[in-house]
Structure 1
Amino acid sequence: MKALFLTALSTAVLFVSSQAISAEKSARDIVEQAELNAYYSGDDGRSAARMIITDNQGRQQMRQFTILRKDQQDGGVQDMMIFFSRPADVRDTVFRVVKQVNDDDDRWLYLPDLDLVKRISAGDKRTSFVGSHFFYEDVSGRNTALDNYELISENEDSYVLKGTPKHPDNVEFSYYEVVIDKEHMLPIESTFYNDSGEAYRKMEVLKVETVQGYPTVTHSRMSDLTNGGQTEMQFRFMKYNIGLPDSIFSERSLRNPPAEWLQLRD
């Protein structure tokens, strides 16, 4: 009888464990598909972008830049460069990212006034991106391998998942909840919570458009729920599959931007 009870108990534990693994796999499948749609549409892409930064007293400043991006592999290594054009205090600043799979992304910032290429350390990836409410990691995307996921609710329009960092000492949040739109399989809202369970930071997608057949976020907002203030990000002149050469994603392009690939046209 005792052996029978232990066998039944083991079977029950195994069943519960397999259910948990299946749920995690399902949640991860959803997140990974959303990551592909949000960051890997087409083989490469170019876009003009504008950030409007509003502080907690209502004062505004603006940043304009052009993004070039090329995928070495869907869901894998990716090159990205961001070339700032306005205002004068950030003109010719360049942000470069090499997105990795099983390691921290490599990030550099070129500061033209100092003629200095500054490496962004892994510890700084969750700090302000050129004075905005977006973090460096928000721009290139957080690696889904860094978090565990749980599907906490679902309706006919969206999934709601909870992401918990595998290495909580490396981030400032305790967990986050992300809403993924089923129609486009894009993250449309992410809310970050601190150790007290209080929401302190929120990203919202304000507009999605279809560009060359790819659902594309063209307007988003990041808000500071604790201190106030927000940054809106708007995208224009988006093009995919333009044939960007590997050679432009290099340290040389930090000081000598590839002008022919930065020309924006409808």
Structure 2
Amino acid sequence: MMLHFLKKTQLITLSFLSLITAAHATVNVDSIIKKSNLASYYAGEDGSAQARMIIVDANGNKQMRQFTILRKDQEDLGDQDMLVFFSRPTDVQGTVFRVTKKVQADDDRWLYLPALDLVKRISAGDKRTSFVGAHFYYEDVSGRNPAEDNYSLISSDEESYIMKAVPKDPSSVEYAYYHIIIDKNTYLPMKASYFNEQQEIIREMQVLAVQNIDGFPTVVHAKMTQLSDGSFTEMQFRNVKYNVGLPDNIFSERSLRTPPKAWLR
């Protein structure tokens, strides 16, 4: 009788400890993802940067895209406004990408095409398509909403966390799940590998260089590779600035046709 009681007590204790451990793991994972999202997309109250993409196809042919990014947060981990102004080459010069990022709903995205004087709305279903011919997608540039995925911690060591993310709506993406390696010091995602249903890596993002700018660890060189043919795009950032005082009124449709030149220098 006593043995039965002890066994039952041990089972209850183990079950209780398991519940505590599971709850702790959930809170820990949520905290990691929030810190990573904050570090990746919300450094400072606002920011600007000049960027260059080098697009290399499977045959080694290269294309270049040069642009300036302006970004302003409504609140940390909250809604956000973004403008991307293309300056080179001539076939994309004057093209503007505008994003109103929303936490509780689908982001609003527009693309201004100067040759047609046309503002084209990018539907939610198109966010996983090429960003002006690059291997980066529209969603890679503005950031994926963490609420769209279920996260779990695969492992961790002294330097990083390895997370698994599974989309809540599998029909909305081209992959089955992805792994992220998050640096423990900066909380920046240093690598993201996207897997298909056969558990093969189909696409991979890797951070190649990070700099501390105005106290914020900042990705200044990243690469996105299509594993099926080895084609890739490298993105480099320079003249990165934070807390520059961008006014709210520049994040409007008017700026698509009349860029705020004072903030693009």
Whether these two folds match at TM > 0.5 is yes
Q: TM-score, normalised by structure 2?
A: 0.94
| Corresponding residue of 1:200 | 202
The verdict on how the C-alpha distance between 1:242 and 1:121 changes in structure 2, with shifts beyond 3 A counting, is same
Tell me what 2:253 maps to: 251
Partners of 1:64 and 1:251 in 2: CA distance: 21
Q: What is the CA distance between 1:24 and its match in structure 2?
A: 2.3
Task: Report 1:122-201 matches (<5 A).
Answer: 122-201=124-203
Deviation at 1:137, TM superposition (A): 0.3
| 1:226-263 CA-partner distances (Å, limit 9, x unpaired) | 12200000000111111000000000000100011101
Q: How far apart are the structure 2 equivalents of 1:252 and 1:47?
A: 21
Q: TM-score, normalised by structure 1?
A: 0.93
Letter matched to residue 95 of structure 1: F
One-letter code aligned to 1:73 = E
How many residue pairs get aligned? The number is 263
Deviations 1:179-238 (A, max 9, x none): 011121111000000111110000000000011111100000000011220000000011
Following superposition, the deviation at residue 29 of structure 1 comes to: 0.8
User: Tell me, what secondary structure is at the counterpart of 2:134?
Assistant: coil
Structure 2 unaligned residues grouped into runs of 5+: none
| Structure 1 gaps, min length 5 | none
Cα separation, partners in 2 of 1:10 and 1:171, compared to 1, 3 Å: farther
Give the whole-Å Cα distance in 1 for the aligned partners of 2:120 and 2:101. 17
Structure 1 residue identity aligned to 2:178: Y
Aligned partners of 1:65 and 1:74: how far apart in 2?
25
Question: Helix, strand or coil: the match of 2:141?
Answer: helix
Of 109, 112, 115, 2:111 maps to: 109
1:22 & 1:13 partners in 2: Cα distance? 14
Q: What is the deviation of 1:16? A: 3.8
Report % sequence identity: 58
CA distance in 1, matches of 2:123, 2:73: 22
